[in-house]
Amino acid sequence: MSGHRHCLMGLMPEQITETLGLKPFQGRQIFHWIHRKGVVDFDAMTNLAKPLRERLKEECVAQDMRIVNVQVSEDGGAAKVLIELRDGERVESVLLRDGDRVTLCLSSQAGCPLNCAFCATGADGFRRNLDAGEIAGQALLLLAAGEVPREVTPNIVCMGMGEPFLNYDNLVAAIHLLMHPEGLEIGARRITVSTVGVVEGIARFAAEDWQVRLSISLHAANEELRSQLVPYNKKDSLARLRDSVRDYGAKTGRQITIEWTLLDGVNDTPKDVRELLAFLRGLKAFVNLIPWNPVPGMPFLSSTRANCMNFLQGLEQGGVKATLRRENGGDIAAACGQLRAQHEPPTPV
């Protein structure tokens, strides 16, 4: 789509200025049009001088990805958007609505190399890392597709396809784009990054000068079971992960979230509660329980309602705060771990 032309979506104002040899205020104006106003048509950037607009049209594109399909859940609470990137790769992003609250779930990679036993994305393999513009640009496409009013500040979760900490630099650059005061200006505390537990990434994240939230996908608190469910555990073991989470807490003082996808008879028993409580001892953490969203062909069942409630209660009795997530978008396979970039024909919005 863009050929050899610069794509501006991934550039900070200073980088636009530098790349195009402009005055600093012009770089800021262009950034403002793209990131605050969601305008990617240079002709519509009316406060830019005509010759500059002409030059931009010749040398640049503002956005080089597009929506090819939108599916809205029956209750209207979730919209799953299929996005085609410049090279034809496809990723999915999700817009979730709960009353006035809007949450955008962004992908960090096309496909995923982790291959977790219960997740649809990994089953389709890894394609490539997304660049910063492709990660942040998903937010702009989602806001436009969902006709979200400007005055609503969305929450961002990097919990779509891929492992954010295996694409660390682009992820961090994307977060800076999303937080920029000339752009969407999303507060750091409204942004959450979810990782499988890449220890190196957690250490780097702890050193970032911001309040962006961290979430760890744990799912099992003994080495053997976790290695089965989350093969990445063979690289960064639970023991190493626990040390890095403890260091993160000591360094930042921030509470983390632990995600635990409940699989019937696999990780939802009283023994699993005990192991999780032992893992969390001394850590400042909050547990988010997610009933497993079925993926066809995978050898799991969702935990029963009773087992979900028992697990929740067991944690609370152990002094750990937890919630059981209400699922959203299951009917359009937009729920956690159901994202896979299906190449189905576009359907009308």
Catalytic residue set:
92, 336
Amino acid at site 263: L
- 130 near ligand SAH, judged by CB under 6 A: no
> Could you tell me which residues come within 8 angstroms of residue 174 by beta carbon, excluding any fewer than 6 positions away?
10, 106, 132, 133, 135, 136
φ, ψ (nearest 5 deg) of residue 314? -60, -40
Q: How far apart are CA 108 and CA 103, in angstroms?
A: 16
167 binds ligand SAH per the rule CB under 6 A = no
* Closest residue to ligand SAH, based on beta-carbon distance: 337
Q: Which of 12, 78, 82, 116 binds ligand SAH (CB under 6 A)?
A: 116
Nearest 5°: the CA angle 339, 344, 346 is: 105
Provide the residue type at 92 as one letter. Answer: E
One of 196, 220, 285, 320 touching ligand SAH (CB under 6 A) = 196
Question: Around Cβ 57, how many Cβ atoms within 10 Å?
Answer: 13
Which one among 29, 155, 261, 328 touches ligand SAH, defined by CB under 6 A? 261
> Contact between 212 and ligand SAH (CB under 6 A)?
no
Q: What region does 302 belong to: left with phi over 0, alpha with psi -120 to 50, or beta?
A: beta
Paired sense of beta strands 191-195 and 322-324, if any: unpaired
Return the number of the residue (149 or 299) whose C-beta is nearest ligand SAH. Answer: 299
Interacting residue with ligand SAH among 92, 134, 236, 259 (CB under 6 A)? 259
Q: Which is nearer to ligand SAH, 142 or 196 (CB)?
A: 196
Report residue 4 as tokens. Answer: 């050899």
Check residue 303 for interaction with ligand SAH (CB under 6 A): no
Smallest gap, in angstroms, from Cβ of residue 336 to ligand SAH? 3
Q: How far is the CB of 130 from ligand SAH (least distance, A)?
A: 13
Does 159 bind ligand SAH (CB under 6 A)? Our answer is yes
Residues contributing to the site for ligand SAH (CB under 6 A): 114, 116, 118-119, 159, 163, 194-196, 217, 259, 261, 290, 292-293, 295, 336-338
